[in-house]
Structure 1
Amino acid sequence: MELFIRSKHFKMIRPSFIILVVFALSGIPVIESRHRPSPKPKTSIEYSALNCRKHRAVLTEFGAVGDGKTSNTKAFRDAISTLRPMAADGGVQLIVPPGKWLTGSFNLTSHFTLFIQKGATLLASQDESEYPVVAPLPSYGRGRDAPGPRFASLISGSNLTDVIITGNNGTIDGQGKYWWVKFKSGGFKSITRPYLIEIIFSQNVQISDVTLIDSPSWNIHPVYCENVIVKGVTILAPIDSPNTDGIDPDSCTNTLIEDCYVVSGDDCIAVKSGWDQYGIKIAMPTQQLSIRRLTCISPDSAGVALGSEMSGGIKDVRIEDITLIQTQSAIRIKTAVGRGGYVKDIFARRITMKTMKYVFWMSGAYNQHPDDKWDPKALPVVQNINYRDMMAENVTIAARLEGI
């Protein structure tokens, strides 16, 4: 593990030194950074958001009013319902023109592009009645905030093929303050806050060239998906906002995250695959994941977190050309007894860090569980972790490495 550190806490700086970390702990074998081949995706990602769509419509054709006050939930739902029958005939596109478009939750369809023009802002409603209540994800067994169901995300979709959310840097504003205040005061005792974007059991998904601000909780959550691209996305949230993860690929195969900028109150990227016995049962890993050219600011969380909900497994991850500024840790591996699963074949290089609490952080006792039915014999495995070409300055602690 070749590591360069400049810090006020170190009097002598050497240009290079080698660290060999050995864990003699149950379920965690040797971690060695040299002579490990970098994992390569089994398939390449060629999908593009620039496909032409044969049919298109503008949101205002369905009675929408962009004054920031009028609810346009019905207009979004009506527009997509009208376009859906034509989707198989060359695809469909809904254009959101400049304006402030207040809306609650709506579902996308296949062979569909949501194009948010420059100067257009989708404002997420703060009226809970505009968000349908949906069942927990099967790999979680409950909502992430609380036992029970969840509010549907602002933009949702399930069992889709060829779906795109893009624009020329249009904005999706989650207006999260209402949800953060209620969450911090214990107001969500039996239901989980909505996310901004959640796509489930889908393939060929692209989210690109948009700005997301102030999400109620997680920003982008593809789950049980294949062939996902998140590209050129800016995500902004106050650094003290609760659980405003940037991008959370969850039980996904063949995912590319590139050229994104994230300021967050939680992990900028959080790689997941289900929670304890529920994730073990579903057994859908996140695999063939590439993260590159990411800039992250998150003083209380990680640039890239692997876990803690990793019970379906995480493997074949490549992380390159990352810039972290005032971020708690670089790549954090989070596991616990009861998780089962694995984090393996992780290759990271060319990471530049400025003002960090930790460079390396592994937590083997991240003891948050969905309920009391987790298996104490389900031990996670961490192996084949390769970090190289990592430059850090102004570091408080170089490494915090905790086994089970």
Structure 2
Amino acid sequence: MPDGFDMFDACATATTLTLFWDKPERADRGTVYTLFVDGVPAARVARTFATIEGLAPDRRYHVELRACFPEGASAIRLAGGSFRTEAVKRDIDVSRPPYNAVGDGVTMNTRAIQQALDDCDASSRVVIPAGVFLTGALTMHSESELHVKAGGTLQGSVDPSDYEPRVWSRFEGVERECYASLVNVGVLDHTAGCTTHDVRLSGEGTIRGGGARLMRATIDRERVRMGGELDDMADYIAACENEDTVPARVRGRLISICNAERVELAGLVFEDGSSWNIHCVYSRHIVTHGATIRSSGVWNGDGWDPDSSEDCVLFDTTFDTGDDMVAIKSGKNPEGNRINRPTRRVRIFSCSALGGHGIAIGSEISGGVEDVRIWDVDLARSRYGIHIKATAKRGGYVRDVSVRDSTVAAVTIHSVSYNDDGESGPGQPYFERFRFERLHALGRYWGETADDVYPSTAVLVKGFDKPGHEARDIVFKDVTLGGVDGGCGRVELCDCAGVVFDRVDAAANPVADPSRPFKAAVS
């Protein structure tokens, strides 16, 4: 295989194969790929994924991938593999006997839907038909599928009691007891490997959480439960983000994936978790594609958060979130240093932002983050763009990150002072070996509305002040800075070493609005 090319995989249904692959090192936006199925051309695309339709169920197909590079005269074989479609599954419709769930948006259906999920096996799938099916926390087991049809909504309750009993979870890098999530896959255990496998959430419908109402109700309920304990923690709380930080840490997610492998999230709208929307911990081979992920009015409303997990793939997905669209994590000091489970081999491509903060790595990186590849993303409408961050007390590392062929609000690599509560880890983090190629960094900061745009630093690299912990070995190649309305070509460097700028153009900005203050850094 070509250098930097080690992923060629597929997600299968009874009649389709969705193929996806790494972008080769020599490829750019002009590269065209052809897929051959059993020797016959089946798709020709200018992106690194394709869906082959009209296949026969329960049949093995050989697929070959070839690429035609702009400078080449003929196609080059990149990879080949054998993939089997699924057998046709039996539908378990939750609205039919013996389950009799009611999609009126009022009737609580937790028991009915949970029973259907318990009855599901590898040869069947649970179906949410058209309607709004109100429910509390649900649990999925190995070899099960939850399918939400077009016009159907799995609607989470806004009552925290519907997410009890609490479960062992991880939030902002620390393991703790939390309310259950709306959909729960697996049981958290950092001493174990993957204990749940082969789970799918699919369809054209919506999985919606309790959103801001559930968030607020959960925080208020936890504040009452903790009572005077919060008063005794006054000094600690003063170091936190705000007075809600501690009671908010018990919130569940929309989708929680723990100690699981081979989990697919395909085609759905995921929205309005009471905190993060999709969170996978101590898991591997998690694939999300063809989805829409959004949140409104939710503090910590992240979209897709791989946490101490491996082989996580995200593509063909649109985000509009109240916080990071993606946040890659691996634990918080010193617990994260001790558990020492990194997040690695993350692939993000063909995604776009309608809002939200962008793609973040950190700030919880105490277990380490490595081998992250991002390409063909449009983060022009994100607040921060690419955002790599950690506090000086965190320990851990971020290394081997590449971003290519993309438009971003900015590129920011820096030490931060927020999310800095708790005991220190063993030392300062390491930021090293990053490559940014064929990017347009706009140098503008998006606020809460389309008109709320400010010039900001296009590239900020600020490492750590301890010798040997500078941000190092960072390459910017074929990068354009600014050159857009409200944009800026400014570069800031501090505590860094081995930063290379190769064909970087700070373009003139067509409009300079003196009424807009310059935002020199992000928070």
TM range (shorter): 0.7 to 0.9
Give the match's secondary structure for 1:129.
helix
Query: Quick check: 1:195–1:215 contact (8 Å CA) kept in 2?
Result: yes
Deviation track 1:310-366 (CA, whole Å, cap 9, x = no partner) reads 11111111100011133222211111223221111111111124xx4xx12122134
Q: Give the corresponding residue for 1:341.
A: 396
- The residue that corresponds to 2:350 in the other structure is 293
Taking the aligned partners of 1:266 and 1:350, their CA distance within structure 2 comes to 24
Q: Report deviation, 1:399.
A: 2.2
In structure 1, the partner of 2:170 is: 137
| Distance apart, 1:134 and its partner CA | 1.2
Q: Is the 8 A contact 2:414 2:462 kept in 1?
A: yes
| Alignment partner of 1:364 is 2:415 | yes
* Alpha-carbon distance in 2 for matches of 1:140, 1:324: 26
| TM-score, with structure 1 as normaliser | 0.80
- Cα distance change, pair 370–201 in 1 and its aligned pair in 2 (3 A): farther
| In 1, Cα distance between equivalents of 2:111 and 2:246 | 26
Deviation at 1:218, TM superposition (A): 0.5
Q: Which residue of 1 aligns with 2:235?
A: none
Give the number of equivalent residue pairs: 347
Shift of 1:52: 3.3
CA distance in 1, matches of 2:260, 2:174: 20
1:153 aligns with 2:181: yes
> Distance in 1 between the 2:106 and 2:291 partners?
26
Query: 1:2-401, aligned counterparts within 5 Å?
Result: 39-41=4-6, 44-50=8-14, 51-52=86-87, 54-60=89-95, 61=97, 62-83=99-120, 87=121, 90-132=122-164, 133-137=166-170, 140-143=173-176, 149-158=177-186, 159-167=195-203, 169-182=204-217, 183=219, 186=244, 189=247, 192-238=250-296, 240-298=297-355, 301=357, 303-353=358-408, 356=409, 359-369=410-420, 371-372=422-423, 374-375=424-425, 377-393=426-442, 395=444, 396=455, 397-401=457-461
1:316/1:344 contact within 8 Å kept: yes
Letter in 1 for 2:429: P
User: What amino acid does structure 1 have at the position aligned with 2:181?
Assistant: S
Name the amino acid aligned to 1:91. S
Indicate the structure whose relative CO is greater, using CA pairs within 8 Å and at least 6 residues apart. 1
| Separation of aligned partners in 2, 1:179 and 1:38 | 47
Contact 1:107 1:157 in 2 (8 A): yes
User: Which secondary structure does the structure 1 equivalent of 2:350 belong to?
Assistant: strand
Does the Cα contact within 8 Å between 2:387 and 2:411 map onto a contact in 1?
Answer: yes
**Whole-Å separation in 1 of the counterparts to 2:260 and 2:88:** 19
C-alpha deviations, 1:97-118, integer Å up to 9, x for none? 1110000001001111111000
Hey, what's the Cα distance between the residues in 1 that align with 2:370 and 2:314?
A: 16
CA distance, structure 2, for counterparts of residue 275 and residue 187 of structure 1: 15
Q: Rate the CA distance shift 1:370–1:110 in 2: closer, same or farther, 3 A.
A: farther
The answer to whether the Cα contact below 8 Å between 1:54 and 1:92 also exists between their aligned partners in 2 is yes
The answer to whether the 8 A contact 1:246-1:264 is kept is yes
Distance 1:49 1:364 in 2: 44
CA distance in 2, matches of 1:59, 1:266: 33
When the two chains are superposed, the root-mean-square deviation of aligned CA atoms in Å is 2.3
2:412 is aligned with what amino acid?
A: W
Unmatched runs of 5 consecutive residues or more in structure 2: 15-85, 187-194, 220-241, 445-454, 465-523
**1:218 match: secondary structure:** coil
Q: What secondary structure sits across from 1:326 in the alignment? A: coil
Sort the Cα spacing of 1:337 and 1:188 in 2 relative to 1 into closer, same or farther, 3 A: closer
Question: Which whole-Å deviations, capped at 9, do the CAs of 1:117-174 have from their partners, x for residues lacking one?
Answer: 000001110111110211233993345xxxxx2111100011311100000x201121
Unaligned runs of 5+ in 1: 1-36, 144-148
* Code of the aligned partner of 1:93: R
The question of whether the paired residues in 2 share the 8 Å contact of 1:92 and 1:111 is answered with no
- In 1, are the aligned partners of 2:173 and 2:329 still within 8 Å (CA)? no
Give the TM-score, by structure 2 length: 0.62
Q: Tell me what 1:17 maps to.
A: none
User: Who is 2:74 aligned against?
Assistant: none
**Alpha carbons of 1:290 and 1:135: their partners in 2 closer, same or farther (altered >3 Å)?**
same
Distance 1:138 1:197 in 2: 13
Distance 2:215 2:414 in 1: 26
Corresponding residue of 1:402? 462
Q: d(CA) in 2 for partners of 1:121 and 1:101?
A: 6
CA contact under 8 A between 2:159 and 2:214: conserved in structure 1? Answer: no
C-alpha separation in 2, matches of 1:280 and 1:398: 32
Decide which structure has the larger Cα Rg and report it: 2
Distance 1:185 1:251, change over 3 A: closer
State the 1:64 CA deviation.
Answer: 0.5
Structure 1 residues 114 and 127: alpha-carbon distance in aligned structure 2, compared to 1, 3 A threshold:
same
Question: Which amino acid is the alignment partner of residue 340 of structure 1?
Answer: G
Q: For residues 68 and 188 of structure 1, do their structure 2 counterparts lie closer, same or farther at Cα, with a shift above 3 Å needed? A: farther
Q: Distance in 1 between matches of 2:4 and 2:341?
A: 19
Residues 162 and 53 (structure 1 numbering): CA distance in 2 closer, same or farther, change over 3 Å?
farther
Check the 8 A contact 1:365/1:403 in 2, yes or no.
no
Give, as a single letter, the amino acid of the residue that structure 1 aligns with 2:370. Answer: K
Aligned amino acid, residue 67 of structure 1: D
Could you tell me how far apart the structure 2 residues matched to 1:175 and 1:195 are? 10
* Contact 1:195–1:217 (8 Å) recurs in 2: yes
Work out the CA distance in 1 between the residues paired with 2:248 and 2:321: 25
Q: Say if 1:190 and 1:345 are closer, same or farther in 2 by CA, change over 3 A.
A: closer
